[in-house]
Amino acid sequence: MKIKLIKIGKTPVDFEVKSDEITFKGYLEYDSGKLILLKANLSGFTLCECSRCGEEFNLKIDEKVKFFISDGVFDSDVSMDLDVVESFDSMADLDELISSEIELIKSDYHICDSCKVEW
């Protein structure tokens, strides 16, 4: 699912996309300059490798996500502490965003239930 950034104004635009067993649900809202605010909730399950024993297990995900999408190159002179994703086709590619968010979560340290019990 792709949303044209130009269509996003001060009225939030709701979206909901799914990737396997994960739902990415939230809204996009125009912020300022070239920035669009994205606020969403990521919930569901994903197959993840245990950082301790290496076994794959189902990781429960329930994360709040908030970042900005910049329409074009983001001017880094602006000294703000923001999470910004740049878009070069003036689109919010939600399928791509959900997969990078999932990859980010997977790259964290996670241990499976049986390893938790041993601890």
Provide the binding-site residues for Zn ion, judged by CB under 5 A.
50, 52-53, 112, 115
User: The tokens 């601890």 sit on which residue?
Assistant: 119
Question: Closest approach of Cβ 59 to Zn ion, in Å?
Answer: 11
- Nearer CB in complex with Zn ion: 50/98: 50
- Nearer CB in complex with Zn ion: 27/57: 57
- 96, exposed or middle or buried, with CB in 10 Å at 0-12, 13-18, 19+? middle
Question: Closest approach of Cβ 45 to Zn ion, in Å?
Answer: 16
- Nearer CB in complex with Zn ion: 88/109: 109
Question: Closest approach of Cβ 107 to Zn ion, in Å?
Answer: 16
**55-69 burial by CB neighbour count: b if 16+ within 10 A, else e?**
eebebebeeebebbb
- Residue 7 identity (one-letter amino acid): K
